[in-house]
Amino acid sequence: MGFFSKQQIFDSTKEDKDPHQFQINGTIITCLHCSGVQFVQKQILLNTPGMTFFSLDWANKTAFTLTCTKCSQILWFLQAPDVVK
């Protein structure tokens, strides 16, 4: 198992700025504050001091945020949520 196996490289150009409804493991995600169901997804780098020191920020893990379009509450996920179609 190598260093790069199953590791996705961060690419901020793949952002979809349109609101969608999302789910994880078959459960619809709802806002904890306002019960909204429309979110804008963004991929975020989880920087660490060691990787930054060696200019390897691109190799850090990523998280996914969903921002509620109704109240702007931000929800964080380590697993990418699926868009409900």
Q: Sorting pLDDT into bands at 50, 70 and 90, what band is 3?
A: low
Predicted confidence (pLDDT) at residue 38 exceeds the cutoff of 70:
yes
Note whether 43 and 10 are within 8 A (CB): yes
- In this predicted model, what pLDDT tens digit does every residue of 40-75 receive, in sequence order? 999 988 877 777 788 877 777 889 999 999 999 999
pLDDT more than 90, % of the chain: 56
Tell me the backbone φ, ψ of residue 82, rounded to 5 degrees: -95, 140
In angstroms, the Cα distances linking 54 to 7, 22, 49, 61, 62 are 18, 36, 9, 15, 18
**33 touches 68 (CB < 8 A):** yes
* Residue 45 or 80, more confident: 80
In this structure, the chain runs to a length of: 85
Q: For residues 65 and 54, what is the distance between their CA atoms, to the nearest angstrom?
A: 26
